[in-house]
């Protein structure tokens, strides 16, 4: 039973487990001051794990392993690499967080959640899928409320837990009905077993609730701003990127593979959700004065843009979703990383506190420029190409109205992203003495932010290899 293929299909998860055990063993023997070095350990070994699974864990033809529980294909593989990259960066960013980074448990919880995400991306069975989603979520609940002394963090943890438990129960109900109707839990066996009818659409709606929560689609988005604001910033960054992308991985695999028969109904539902999500996210981002809340609403709206690709229900559509998520993960991690680097020195998180930042730290300001312009969808950064591909897929599928809504929304987006940059570049500190208030960067930040910034530019200029991988991943859905 345990053939090399089976081994390769869960190789990344095995490696992550090894890293987690290593952390567990090593951490207690390190002195309190040295414990932040767990971050170096985790980031380095995750990078190694990426290389190893890239060398030995590449999928060939899509296969089902472990009794159909896990699908071994490019879709899962590409997402796993993305998640591990995001986790490695998050580990670096965690190190510099005084309250969280000195505790080994934080890294351990993140790794546990990472295993869950990896399995979400590759689950081939509803049972496995549900387990994976819970494995992802529960450690994240704890991480969001990690700073026990901080009221906002505790609130964030609780809010996330309540919303998460509620929606996951609804989704589980949907899964069990699905099993009742079809007699199978294998995602790849579901196709053709469902009869069209009101009950089926009810089931799809229940499942959409659960996924909608993970990717924070309106109207299941209420947790996002509060949780992002309250949670430790590295955790918020991880939540808004990897966790969201994992939700999308589930969405496209489940709906593209199992329910293409009912496409006109759920693609329309997704199209409406997408339109509402973009609009609400962007309009609510406009009045925000706290940068983490701004990024929270902006990340809601980005879920809406990415959904356009899913609505298209074509290979190009799926590829553009995957590509969008890759670009978005890099960009948003960069944005959150900058927020962290800035507030570690200043302790401030309001937009107005960013006044004079370009004089205090020109390089940090430039990276923020890259991140925000990429979010706004400007070249030569990743966000531009990603948006164009998603829109192209939408138009190809005939959803011109949805693309027009997307475009109107990106105009709103340009407004508030540029507005934030105005604080960075134009306004000055009250005493105009920026030279005396530099924003020094420590080594983990320099490495993490430089890698991300270069990545954001690379994915926006030399986009052919990235898009080819996204396309190979999308191919497995058809």
Partner 1 sequence: MNFPVLSVITFTPMVAAVLILLLPAQRKNEARAVALAAATFALILSLWAYFNYDQAAAGYQFVEKYTWLNLGQLNISLHFGVDGISMPLVLLTGVVMFTGVLISWGDDHPHVMAGIQDRPREFFAFLFVLASGVFGVFVSLDLFMLFFFYEIAVFPMYLLIVIWGWIVTREYAAMKLTLYLFIGSVVSLVGVLVMYWVAGQNTGVYTFDMLQMEKAGFSQTFQDIWFLPVFLGFAVLGGIWPFHNWSPDGHVAAPTAVSMFHAGVLMKLGAFAALRVGIMLLPQGAQTWSWLIMMFAAIAVVYGAYIAFVQTDFKYMVGFSSVSHMGLVMLGFSTLNRDGLLGSGVQMFSHGVMTALFFAVVGMIYDRAHTREIPELGGINKIMPFATIGFIIGGLVSMGMPGFSGFVAEFPIFMGVWGTQWLVAVIASISIVITAAYIMRNIRQVFFGELPQKFEGHLTDITILDKVAIVVLCLFMIVIGLFPNFMVPLVQTGVDNILRLLGGA
Chain residues binding partner 1 by CB under 8 A are 315-316, 358-359, 362, 366, 369, 373, 376, 378-380, 384, 388-389, 391-392, 395-396, 400, 403-404, 407, 410-411, 414-415, 418-419, 421-422, 425-426, 463-464, 467-468, 471
Residue whose token pair is 């296969």 = 63
CB of 392 to partner 1, least distance (A): 5
Q: Which is nearer to partner 1, 197 or 362 (CB)?
A: 362
Q: Which is nearer to partner 1, 66 or 457 (CB)?
A: 457
φ and ψ of 304, to 5 deg: -65, -45
Closest by CA to 317, choosing from 276, 270, 282, is 270
Which H helix or E strand runs over 342?
A: helix 315-346
Residue 110, both tokens: 């993140």
CB of 428 to partner 1, least distance (A): 11
CB of 301 to partner 1, least distance (A): 15
Q: Is the dihedral of CA 218, 138, 170, 269 positive or negative?
A: positive
Query: HEC string of 201-258?
Result: HHHHHHHHHHHHHHCCCCCCCCHHHHHHHHCCHHHHHHHHHHHHHHHHHHHHHHHHHH
Q: Which is nearer to partner 1, 21 or 426 (CB)?
A: 426
Cα–Cα separations (whole angstroms), residue 125 to 161, 167, 306, 407: 25, 19, 24, 37
CB of 172 to partner 1, least distance (A): 38
The DSSP call for residue 194 is S
Q: Which is nearer to partner 1, 159 or 359 (CB)?
A: 359
Q: Which is nearer to partner 1, 22 or 392 (CB)?
A: 392
Q: Which is nearer to partner 1, 56 or 401 (CB)?
A: 401
Q: Which is nearer to partner 1, 176 or 315 (CB)?
A: 315
CA distance from start to end of the chain = 28
Q: How many CB atoms lie within 10 A of CB 462?
A: 10
Rounded Cα distance between 263 and 311, Å, is: 9
Rounded Cα distance between 129 and 137, Å, is: 12
CB of 438 to partner 1, least distance (A): 11
CB of 319 to partner 1, least distance (A): 8
CB of 407 to partner 1, least distance (A): 4
């Amino acid at each position: 039973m345990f053939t090399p293929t089976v081994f390769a299909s869960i190789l990344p998860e095995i490696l992550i487990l090894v890293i987690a055990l290593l952390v567990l063993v090593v951490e207690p023997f390190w002195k309190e001051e040295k414990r932040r070095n767990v971050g170096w350990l985790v980031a380095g070994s995750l990078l190694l794990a990426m290389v190893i699974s890239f060398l030995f864990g590449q999928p060939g033809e899509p296969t089902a392993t472990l009794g159909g529980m896990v699908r071994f294909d490019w879709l899962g593989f590409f997402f796993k690499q993305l998640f591990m990259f995001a986790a490695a960066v998050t580990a670096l960013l965690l190190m510099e967080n005084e309250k969280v980074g000195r505790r080994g448990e934080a890294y351990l919880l993140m790794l546990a959640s990472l295993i869950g995400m990896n399995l979400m991306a590759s689950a081939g069975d509803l049972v496995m899928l549900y387990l994976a989603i819970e494995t992802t979520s529960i450690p994240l609940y704890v991480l969001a409320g990690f700073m026990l002394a901080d009221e906002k963090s505790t609130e964030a943890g609780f809010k996330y837990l309540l919303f998460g438990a509620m929606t996951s129960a609804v989704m589980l109900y949907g899964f069990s009905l699905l099993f009742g109707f079809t007699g199978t839990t294998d995602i790849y066996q579901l196709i053709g077993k469902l009869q069209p009818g009101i009950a089926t659409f009810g089931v799809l709606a229940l499942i959409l609730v659960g996924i909608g929560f993970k990717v924070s689609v309106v109207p299941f988005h209420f947790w996002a701003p509060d949780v992002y604001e309250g949670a430790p910033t590295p955790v918020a960054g991880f939540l808004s990127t990897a966790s969201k992308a994992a939700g999308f991985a589930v969405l496209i695999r489940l709906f593209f593979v199992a329910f293409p028969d009912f496409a006109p109904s759920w693609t329309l539902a997704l199209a409406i959700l997408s339109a509402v999500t973009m609009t609400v996210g962007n309009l609510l981002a406009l009045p925000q004065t706290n940068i983490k809340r701004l990024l929270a609403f902006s990340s809601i709206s980005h879920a809406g843009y990415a959904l356009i690709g899913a609505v298209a229900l074509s290979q190009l559509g799926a590829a553009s979703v995957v590509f969008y998520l890759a670009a978005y993960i890099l960009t948003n991690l960069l944005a959150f990383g900058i927020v962290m680097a800035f507030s570690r020195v200043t302790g401030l998180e309001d937009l107005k506190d960013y006044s004079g930042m370009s004089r205090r730290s020109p390089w940090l300001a430039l990276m923020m420029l890259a991140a925000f312009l990429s979010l706004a969808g400007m070249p030569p950064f990743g966000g531009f190409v990603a948006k164009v591909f998603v829109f192209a897929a939408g138009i190809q599928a005939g959803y011109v109205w949805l693309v027009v809504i997307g475009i109107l929304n990106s105009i709103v987006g340009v407004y508030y992203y540029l507005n934030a940059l105005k604080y960075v570049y134009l306004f000055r500190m009250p005493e105009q003495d920026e030279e005396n208030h530099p924003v020094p960067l420590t080594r983990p930040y320099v490495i993490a932010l430089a890698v991300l910034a270069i990545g954001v530019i690379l994915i926006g200029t030399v986009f052919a290899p990235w898009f080819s991988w996204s396309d190979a991943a999308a191919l497995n859905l058809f």
